[in-house]
Structure 1
Amino acid sequence: MLAYRLLTEDDTSAFCHKVSLALAKGWALHGSPSYAFDAARGVMRCAQAVVKEVEGDYHPDLKLGEL
């Protein structure tokens, strides 16, 4: 099964660390990153999709961050 996650974070080094950790755990980048202004909070936000091939079938109780 191909698992999918969308990582998001404010535009700080924390976002880069979050993506780097996912890559270190075997996730692969999927598409280009996104960058948008969160007007409610007054900050820029980043997003990056990642995918990982894992054994088994999908079920809604999967803890994607633990794969």
Structure 2
Amino acid sequence: MKLYRYLTGPDDSSFCKRVSKALSAGWNLHGSPTLSHNPESGSMMCGQAVWKETEGTYSDDITLSDY
């Protein structure tokens, strides 16, 4: 099955570490990262789509971060 996740978080090292952890677990980047400004908090938010091919059949009960 092919799995898809969209990782999001603040534009800081913790976001980069989450993406690096996913890549180390066999996930692949899909497209370019996104960046958005939250005018209320003044912060920048990042997003990155990732995908992974794995054994099994998709079910709504799976936890993507377990893969």
Instruction: Give the shorter-chain TM-score range.
Output: over 0.9
Which contiguous aligned blocks of 4+ residues in structure 1 show a shift greater than 6 angstroms? none
Which one-letter code corresponds to 1:51 in the other structure? Answer: W
Q: Deviations over 1:2-29 (max 9, x none)?
A: 1000000100000100000000000000
Q: TM-score, normalised by structure 2?
A: 0.94
Q: Deviations over 1:9-58 (max 9, x none)?
A: 10000010000000000000001000001233321000000000011111
Paired-residue identity, %:
49
Q: TM-score, normalised by structure 1?
A: 0.94
User: For the residues of structure 1 that align with 2:38 and 2:16, how far apart are their CA atoms?
Assistant: 18
Determine the structure 1 residue equivalent to 2:51: 51
Unaligned runs of 5+ in 2: none
Unaligned runs of 5+ in 1: none
Determine the structure 2 residue equivalent to 1:39: 39
Which one-letter code corresponds to 2:59 in the other structure? Answer: H
